[in-house]
Structure 1
Amino acid sequence: MEISGLLLMIVISLTGFSGSRSWAARLKIEPMVKGCTSIIDWARHRKRRREDIKKDNNNGDLCVGAEEQILGSNQPDIDDCVVGDNQDEEGEAMVEVSPSDDETGDGNESSWSMDCSTVVRVKTLHISSPILAAKSPFFYKLFSNGMRESEQRHVTLRINASEEAALMELLNFMYSNALTASQAPQLLDVLMAADKFEVASCMRYCSRQLRNLSMTPESALLYLELPSSVLMAEAVQPLTDAAKQYLAARYKDMTKFHEEVMALPLAGIEAILSSDDLQVASEDAVYDFVLKWARVQYPRLEERREVLGARLARYIRFPYMTCRKLKKVLTCTDFEHDAASKLVLEALFFKGEPPHRQRTLAAEESATSNRRFVERAYKYRPVKVVEFELPRQQCVVYLDLKREECTNLFPSGRVYSQAFHLGGQGFFLSAHCNMDQQSSFHCFGLFLGMQEKGIG
Structure 2
Amino acid sequence: MKELNTDLFDPRTTLMEPDFSRAVTPLADADGDDFAFAFNDSNFSDRQLRIEIMGDTPESRPDSEACTSIADWALHRKRRREDIKKENILDLAECPEEQILNDNQPDMDDCEGCENQDEEPVAMVEESPSGDEAANSNDSDWGMDCSTVVRVKTLHISSPILAAKSPFFYKLFSNGMRESEQRHVTLRISASEEAALMELLNFMYSNTLSTTTAPALLDVLMAADKFEVASCMRYCSRLLRNMPMTPESALLYLELPSSVLMAEAVQALTDAAKQYLAVRYKDISKFFEEVMALPLAGIEAIISSDELQVASEDAVYDFVLKWSRTHYPKLEERREILGARLARYIRFPYMTCRKLKKVLTCNDFDHEAASKLVLESLFFKAEAPHRQRILAAEESATLNRRFVERAYKYRPVKVVEFDLPRQQCVVYLDLKREECANLFPSGRVYSQAFHLGGQGFFLSAHCNMDQQSSFHCFGLFLGMQEKGSVSFAVDYEFAARSKPTEEFISKYKGNYTFTGGKAVGYRNLFAIPWTSFTAEDSPFFINGVLHLRAELTIKH
TM-score by length of 2: 0.65
Moved more, 313-322 or 150-159: 150-159
Q: For residues 67-146 of structure 1, what are the structure 2 equivalents within 5 Å?
A: 117-146=147-176
The yes-or-no answer on 1:14 pairing with 2:60 is no
Q: CA deviation at 1:243?
A: 1.6
1:28 corresponds to: 53
Shift of 1:393: 2.6
Cα gap change, 1:60 to 1:404, in 2 (>3 Å): closer
Counterpart in the other structure of 1:331: 361
Change (3 A) 1:308 1:17: farther
Give the aligned partner of residue 210 of structure 1: 240
Q: Is 1:44 paired with 2:44?
A: no
The answer for the alignment partner of 1:162 in structure 2 is 192
The match for 1:245 among 259, 268, 275 is 275
- In the other structure, the counterpart of 2:536 is none
Alignment partner of 2:223 out of 189, 193, 197: 193
CA displacement at 1:128 relative to structure 2: 2.5
CA distance in 2, matches of 1:159, 1:333: 51
Say if 1:25 and 1:127, in contact at 8 Å, map to a contact too: no
Q: 2-side partners of 1:148 and 1:419: how far apart? A: 80
Report the equivalent of 1:390: 420
**Residue type matched to 1:64 in 2?**
M
Q: How does 1:179-328 map to 2 (within 5 A)?
A: 179-228=209-258, 230=260, 233-328=263-358
Compared CA separation, residues 139 and 434, structure 1 to 2 (3 A): same
Who is 1:363 aligned against?
393
Alignment of 1:372-391 (within 5 A): 372-391=402-421
**SS in structure 2 of the partner of residue 386 of structure 1:** strand
Answer yes or no: is 1:56 the counterpart of 2:116. yes
The one-letter code of the counterpart of 1:44 is: L
Counterpart pick for 2:441 among 399, 402, 411: 411
In the other structure, the counterpart of 2:107 is none
Distance between the aligned counterparts of 1:328 and 1:453, measured in 2?
25
Bigger relative contact order, structure 1 or 2, given CA contacts below 8 A and separation 6+? 1
1:360-399 Cα shifts (integer Å, max 9, x gaps): 1111111222111110000000000111222223211111
Give the conservation status (yes or no) of the 8 Å contact 2:51–2:189.
Answer: no
Distance 2:424 2:141 in 1: 79
**Deviations for 1:7-42, whole angstroms, at most 9, x for unmatched residues?**
xxxxxx935354x53133332323137677579546
Per the TM alignment, residue 335 of structure 1 is displaced from its structure 2 partner at its CA by 1.5
Question: What CA distance in whole angstroms lies between the structure 1 residues aligned with 2:295 and 2:213?
Answer: 24
Does the aligned pair in 2 maintain the 1:61–1:109 contact within 8 Å? Answer: no
Q: What pairs up with 1:426-437 in 2 under 5 angstroms? A: 426-435=456-465
Query: CA, structure 1 residues 125+385, in 2 after alignment: closer, same or farther (shift >3 Å)?
Result: same
Amino acid at match of 1:58: D
> Given the alignment of the two structures, is residue 445 of structure 1 paired with residue 504 of structure 2, yes or no?
no
Whole-angstrom CA distance in 2 between matches of 1:109 and 1:328: 63
In structure 2, relative to structure 1, the CA distance for the partners of 1:260 and 1:388 (3 Å cut) is: same
The Cα offsets for residues 126-154 of structure 1, whole Å up to 9 and x where unpaired, read as: 43322211111111011102236565444
User: In the comparison of the two structures, how many residue pairs are matched?
Assistant: 398
CA distance in 1, matches of 2:407, 2:255: 28
Could you report, residue by residue, the CA deviation over 1:144-181 in whole angstroms, capped at 9, with x for unpaired residues? 02236565444443333322211111111112211111
Structure 1 contact 350–358 (Cα < 8 Å) conserved: yes
Alpha-carbon separation, structure 2, partners of 1:228 and 1:190: 17
Q: Write 1 or 2 for the structure with the bigger share of helix.
A: 2
Shift of 1:304: 1.7
* Range 32-41 or range 311-320, more displaced: 32-41
* Separation in structure 2 between the aligned mates of residue 46 and residue 450 of structure 1, nearest angstrom: 57
**Backbone CA RMSD of aligned residues:** 3.1
Q: Distance in 1 between matches of 2:480 and 2:114?
A: 53
8 Å contact kept, 1:273–1:316: yes
Q: Which residue of 2 aligns with 1:400?
A: 430
Percent of residue pairs bearing the same amino acid type: 80
Q: Deviations over 1:291-340 (max 9, x none)?
A: 11111122222222222111111111111111111111111121222221
Taking the aligned partners of 1:384 and 1:393, their CA distance within structure 2 comes to 17
What do residues 62-116 of structure 1 show as CA deviations (whole Å, max 9, x unaligned)?
14265688xxxxxxxxxxxxxxxxxxxxxxxxxxxxxxxxxxxxx99679xxx55
Is residue 195–residue 203 contact of structure 1 (8 Å, CA) maintained in 2? yes
The alpha-carbon distance between structure 1 residues 413 and 423, as it changes in their structure 2 partners (threshold 3 A), is same
- Counterpart Cα distance in 2 of 1:391 and 1:46: 70
Q: Secondary structure at the match of 2:456?
A: strand
The letter for the 1-side match of 2:406 is R
Inter-CA distance 149–285: structure 2 relative to 1 (3 Å threshold): farther
- Aligned AA for 1:395? C
Structure 1 residue 267 displacement after superposition: 1.6
Structure 2 counterpart of 1:202, one-letter code? C
1:230 to partner: Cα distance:
3.6
- Output the amino acid matched with 2:55: E
Q: Distance in 2 between matches of 1:45 and 1:386?
A: 59
Residue 387 of structure 1 aligns to a residue in which SS?
strand
Q: The residue matched to 2:157 in structure 1 has which SS?
A: strand
Q: Which moved more, 1:405-414 or 1:357-366?
A: 405-414
8 Å CA contact 1:30–1:159 kept in 2: the answer is no
Q: Does 1:177 align with 2:207?
A: yes
Whether the 8 Å CA contact 2:60–2:76 is kept in 1: the answer is no
Distance 1:451 1:399 in 2: 18
Does the 8 Å CA contact 1:60/1:160 hold for their aligned counterparts?
Answer: no
